[in-house]
Structure 1
């Protein structure tokens, strides 16, 4: 009996020690996570809002951490400190908010004297008004040109804008070696600007309104302001030819008709300039149309990737990217589609039912929207409504070799970028994630926008700058949207980055904000992480 009791005591002590070790490990991990979140490496130098004028009242978000205060977010009222309960949903603001729709429904029910024809006319008018109210304005895509002097933005209202990268910022980066330590000087320069200078700084010099949905836009890869023959960009939109526009005044230079077998214009969903030749690749449904910039009236090559009964690539071509290093440089390219397949081709191969490699990830993907080559043999692939970015190896074409957590819980095109060995990507919850690709390690994570996803990230070619776009479609009739609920729960109604979790590694942070002040905006962000890499 004594021996049994001793054994039980020893087992109990071992369990306690094991439990305490787990507790200490978890405590240490949580403390490291807190210190990790407290580090700030991204600072917003410039923010240009995209005002949603279709949805009632829109105001700038300030003092996010103050409790018991309500802010208007695209017509939706929600507390910045806690999520409203079901009992609080019938507030005065919401009654006012839904008044229009309740009155319309009430009139529809009681209007028994109208004829069926009058009802149809009334319903059509009501539907049109409703559609106008539902239309959102938010950013969808943004990207620098090859020299980083300007960038384009695409918004939901079919506007394409060209903005100049702030000259004051570029001159500051050229003259200062210790950029981080001198950011306060730049902050003072911005504060001393006149209202006219601030307006010019946030204004686009080209604003184009297209009649249909814009699918993609690409700058010419050898864009130089000194050579006017290279200052153009291509745009593809719904039911329209592909156009080349001048970057000086937005005038049309060339047009390319993507025709199908019936000689009808088919939609072009993705664009890619050839890195060496004056070719423009246009991704359509199951084919890639290749055009020569010197012969815009003729299709140089129609690369049919798959047929109905063949084994080739089927579906809408969503993204095209050429290889930039190693064997097959500038001749081998990767093609992603909305059928969750990634194919690799060469310019000199027979594309019809013929390819070099194929990666398929139907279980974990919902349509590939963006791909990037990494070094010589690797490809990064991101898809819509997915939680990961997958890394594929050309030498192992069976499955992905690594995956990086990136919550993209909407059907938007989430654009990421690569800097050296780092993957920089945004997510639905408004965070920027920086991963070490080789070691598969999360290096940094920082909140940029609390109420909108970061859907587009692009790094400046020369300076430690990032351009980010945030925004999403909001259905203001339905406040219980799944993404909004998850976002509120995820943040726990507080901005944890503004709280103090202990000793900060820096004595003083710059005066620039680290969190966006608008719901839908485009931000020029200074990255201290990239600065450390450049100086090391």
Structure 2
């Protein structure tokens, strides 16, 4: 593989050191030491070649013990905060951790690079449906005690898992009014990583990370907390009733309501703050819009972006650490990218072009639903996941023939269509500069 000279802002990691990618790995020159200036990490530019290069992929298939109704499709993926690995949720297959290849830590890539096959280094077999999951925000592979993630799933408490051996570290339990344990619908860490915020049907519960068990602070809410996002002392709580609630969280784990935002036509499934903390992006199920909110003036959306979401499935989007790029998948399998330098997606709405698709780039990556997008925290790499549940077509019979009374006269097609383009994969894509690309 041809090597490209490294720029001063690129990461410089010795081959014998522990594998981690952090801003502290930025090269320090003699001039910096002499002047006392601290080097600053600069996020690399994305899409300079206006293309994506597949680096590696992984897929999961149905085992012999699984029934015909078992469909192991990907339901989400998230890069670890230090960028060394990616956590993926696979339906009926639990949690999987896959590592980034060592050559991608500092090297660039060429167009003739061989596509690698990803193997899971950690596999946690979850017994129920995983509702939500998140990494510890200060996760660093050089500090093993920080390498962990949280999950909340059906009929189980909030659980913390070790990212080195996949063992269960501890659990955090929430109990309802009749002292029955209930599962959390969403979970996240506070910005400083000292507390765990779990969202339930009628309650927000805050746990101390260092005190597992049932001790927690409670705050009543009027609607189920389907998803959450945090930034500094702000907490945004999305609900299935299409609303978003903003709270200010104090050091004593008390919640002060700031206000509510309305605009989605379906239940809110995913939210994320921009790196500057001034804007919030939200998406909902069966809603083709991404709403951009200015939290200082939250009465109406600041901007509306278009994507394809035709099902109740949660479709993740992501914002680059530099705050210049917004990426999202869709049920049509297309990855859409908004570049703030080309399309100012953080500006106010142009009422004449709300319905138009103003995405900077479109990449038809998957033949099935592209349900998750995760941008690497330090390298120009994007992880995407595909898959969704496919129902059997009721208009066909055992031999696969189409029932004649259920066909149309014009196109001779089935009235109720059930897609047969089933796909289930996790793919890493290179979004940086690719030399000698023809």
Name the TM-score, length of structure 2 as normaliser: 0.74
Match among 324, 331, 337 for residue 434 of structure 1: 337
Tell me which residue corresponds to 1:135: 70
Tell me which residue corresponds to 1:387: 288
Whether the 8 Å contact between 1:305 and 1:352 is mirrored in structure 2 is: no
1:332 and 2:237 matched: no
| Superposed displacement of residue 281, structure 1 | 0.8
Summarize deviations over 1:126-182 as a string: whole Å, max 9, x none: xxx9x9322212000111100110111111114111111122333xxx144xx4xx3
Give aligned pairs, total.
351
Whether the 8 Å contact between 1:158 and 1:213 is mirrored in structure 2 is: no
Unpaired runs of 5+ residues, structure 2, are: 1-48, 346-357, 396-413
Distance 1:175 1:472, change over 3 A: closer
Secondary structure of 1:408's counterpart equals: coil
Unpaired runs of 5+ residues, structure 1, are: 1-38, 55-128, 191-197, 307-313, 324-329, 489-517
Summarize deviations over 1:444-472 as a string: whole Å, max 9, x none: 0010012x110000000110000000001
Whether the 8 Å contact between 1:149 and 1:165 is mirrored in structure 2 is: yes
| Superposed displacement of residue 263, structure 1 | 1.3
1:366 and 2:255 matched: no
Whether the 8 Å contact between 1:426 and 1:433 is mirrored in structure 2 is: yes
| Superposed displacement of residue 287, structure 1 | 1.5
Taking the TM superposition and a 5 Å limit, the aligned residue runs for 1:87-486 are 132-170=67-105, 174-176=106-108, 179=109, 182-184=110-112, 186-187=113-114, 202-306=118-222, 314=223, 316-323=224-231, 330-348=232-250, 355-361=257-263, 364-374=264-274, 375-419=276-320, 420-436=323-339, 439-440=344-345, 441-450=358-367, 452-478=368-394
Whether the 8 Å contact between 2:137 and 2:192 is mirrored in structure 1 is: no
Measure the CA separation in 2 of the matches of 1:481 and 1:245. 46
| Superposed displacement of residue 202, structure 1 | 2.1
| Superposed displacement of residue 268, structure 1 | 0.7
| Superposed displacement of residue 228, structure 1 | 1.6
Whether the 8 Å contact between 2:204 and 2:220 is mirrored in structure 1 is: yes
Name the TM-score, length of structure 1 as normaliser: 0.61
| Superposed displacement of residue 331, structure 1 | 0.7
| Superposed displacement of residue 401, structure 1 | 2.2
Summarize deviations over 1:269-304 as a string: whole Å, max 9, x none: 111111115111111112111111111124231121
| Superposed displacement of residue 474, structure 1 | 0.6
Whether the 8 Å contact between 1:289 and 1:299 is mirrored in structure 2 is: no
Which structure: larger Rg? 1
Tell me which residue corresponds to 2:54: 44
Whether the 8 Å contact between 1:259 and 1:266 is mirrored in structure 2 is: yes
Summarize deviations over 1:479-503 as a string: whole Å, max 9, x none: 7586757x99xxxxxxxxxxxxxxx
Tell me which residue corresponds to 1:101: none
| Superposed displacement of residue 354, structure 1 | 5.4
Measure the CA separation in 2 of the matches of 1:292 and 1:228. 20
Distance 1:367 1:350, change over 3 A: farther
Measure the CA separation in 2 of the matches of 1:285 and 1:519. 33
| Structure that is richer in strand per residue | 2
Summarize deviations over 1:41-99 as a string: whole Å, max 9, x none: 11211111222458xxxxxxxxxxxxxxxxxxxxxxxxxxxxxxxxxxxxxxxxxxxxx
Measure the CA separation in 2 of the matches of 1:252 and 1:162. 15
Measure the CA separation in 2 of the matches of 1:247 and 1:481. 47
Secondary structure of 1:132's counterpart equals: coil
Secondary structure of 2:145's counterpart equals: helix
Secondary structure of 1:229's counterpart equals: helix
Distance 1:484 1:387, change over 3 A: farther
Whether the 8 Å contact between 2:242 and 2:262 is mirrored in structure 1 is: yes
Summarize deviations over 1:287-345 as a string: whole Å, max 9, x none: 11111111112423112123xxxxxxx1x21211112xxxxxx1112111111110110
| Superposed displacement of residue 399, structure 1 | 1.8
| Superposed displacement of residue 477, structure 1 | 3.1
Distance 1:209 1:297, change over 3 A: same
Tell me which residue corresponds to 2:353: none
Secondary structure of 1:346's counterpart equals: strand
